């Protein structure tokens, strides 16, 4: 109350609350400033902490002096700072748990991809655009299911308008914190599915081979000749009736109808 500072946003308490949430940023000091704050046991010197409440508040680009990321490493382990070098970036439990979830999903996806190559399956990758304090940010999830039943269920969910390799579905709920949701579905038929499809093709070929042979060209020509001969005979009979009708006394209606054939 004396200096107008919020103790929850300064010093040890500020860093503690930042690490319990998404994270934050602290002032980056040189050796002299670090020494002064180390001997400031009464907390007289200002030590502000910027707390982040969602991923949108993190800088889009950070400077990492620890070198390129190696497999299994993350940005949080490389002493990240802002590009101007004035702030240290602190990753809290929320950001770290998100990285742990991503790593677990990557490991599970690699295992499921290997199984899907044999048994078939489907992977669903969901991307949500979420409203944050500093703008929208993306949240992503991945889930893979293996087996022919999972493949057929995902294919039915996509509908007939998508290909055999998969497709995407999208929605714009525009309510709560979510603006847009896009789900990409990747389908893998697998070796077992390929074998089943091959058996269907072979069965269809055997069924077609068992059908009676179609008429040859000679048979078609003979049938056409017989049809033409029958038509010619019918025309000749009609002309004979027409020629005889006028000389028949009292030509009946039946004769006239026969002549019209």
**pLDDT at residue 155 greater than cutoff 70:** yes
- Inside any domain, residue 2: no
- Inside any domain, residue 227: yes
**pLDDT at residue 117 greater than cutoff 80:** yes
pLDDT tens digits, 201-253: 888 888 888 876 555 566 677 778 887 887 787 777 777 766 765 554 544 55
Overall average pLDDT of the 111-137 stretch: 89
14: Cβ contacts below 8 Å, ≥ 6 apart: 7, 8, 24, 26, 47, 48, 49, 51
Residues 150 and 100 in one domain: yes
- Inside any domain, residue 20: yes
Regarding predicted confidence, which is higher, 18 or 247?
A: 18
Residues 205 and 102 in one domain: yes
Q: Which of 59-68, 162-171, 196-205 has the highest mean pLDDT?
A: 196-205
**pLDDT at residue 90 greater than cutoff 80:** yes
**pLDDT at residue 91 greater than cutoff 80:** yes
Residues 152 and 203 in one domain: yes
Boundaries of domain holding 51: 7-91
**pLDDT at residue 8 greater than cutoff 80:** no
- Inside any domain, residue 32: yes
Task: Calculate the average pLDDT of the chain.
Answer: 79
Confidence at residue 1, expressed as pLDDT on a 0 to 100 scale: 46
Q: How many domains does the chain have?
A: 3
Per the DSSP assignment, residues forming a β-bridge with 233 are none
Residues 114 and 186 in one domain: yes
Regarding predicted confidence, which is higher, 68 or 84?
A: 84
Structure tokens at 113: 């991809």
The domain boundary, picked from 50, 65, 91, lies at 91
Run of H or E residues at 181: strand 178-188
In a 13 Å sphere around the CA of 195, the CA atoms on its Cβ side amount to: 8
**pLDDT at residue 2 greater than cutoff 80:** no
Residues 149 and 235 in one domain: no
Confidence at residue 82, expressed as pLDDT on a 0 to 100 scale: 84
The domain boundary, picked from 209, 235, 250, lies at 209
The domain boundary, picked from 91, 119, 136, lies at 91
- Inside any domain, residue 1: no
Residues 81 and 50 in one domain: yes
Confidence at residue 81, expressed as pLDDT on a 0 to 100 scale: 83
**pLDDT at residue 38 greater than cutoff 60:** yes
24: Cβ contacts below 8 Å, ≥ 6 apart: 14, 15, 18, 49, 50, 51, 52, 90, 92
Overall average pLDDT of the 132-160 stretch: 86
Residues 166 and 244 in one domain: no
Residues 225 and 204 in one domain: no
Overall average pLDDT of the 113-119 stretch: 88
Residues 170 and 231 in one domain: no
Residues 183 and 241 in one domain: no
Residues 50 and 75 in one domain: yes
Confidence at residue 248, expressed as pLDDT on a 0 to 100 scale: 47
- Inside any domain, residue 53: yes
Residues 177 and 144 in one domain: yes
């Amino acid at each position: 109350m004396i200096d107008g500072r919020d103790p929850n946003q300064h010093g040890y308490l500020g860093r503690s609350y930042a690490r319990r949430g998404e994270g934050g940023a602290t002032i980056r000091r040189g050796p002299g400033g670090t020494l002064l704050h180390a001997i400031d046991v009464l907390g007289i010197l200002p030590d502000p902490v910027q707390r982040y409440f969602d991923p949108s508040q993190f800088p889009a680009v950070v400077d990492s002096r620890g070198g390129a990321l190696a497999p299994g490493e993350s940005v949080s382990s490389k002493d990240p700072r802002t590009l101007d070098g004035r702030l240290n970036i602190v990753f809290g439990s929320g950001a770290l748990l998100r990285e742990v979830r991503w790593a677990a999903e990557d490991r599970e996806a690699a295992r499921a991809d290997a199984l899907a190559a044999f048994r078939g399956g489907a992977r669903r990758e969901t991307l949500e655009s979420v409203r944050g304090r500093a703008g929208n940010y993306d949240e992503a999830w991945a889930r893979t299911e293996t087996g022919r039943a999972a493949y057929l269920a995902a294919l039915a969910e996509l509908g007939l308008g998508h290909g055999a390799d998969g497709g995407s579905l999208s929605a714009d709920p525009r309510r709560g914190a979510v603006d847009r949701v896009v789900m990409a579905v990747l389908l893998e038929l697998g070796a077992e599915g390929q074998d089943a499809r091959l058996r269907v093709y072979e069965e269809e070929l055997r069924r077609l081979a068992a059908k009676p042979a179609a008429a040859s060209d000679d048979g078609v020509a003979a049938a056409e000749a017989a049809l033409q001969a029958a038509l010619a005979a019918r025309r000749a009979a009609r002309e004979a009736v027409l020629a005889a009708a006028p000389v028949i006394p009292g030509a009946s209606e039946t004769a006239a109808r026969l002549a019209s054939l």
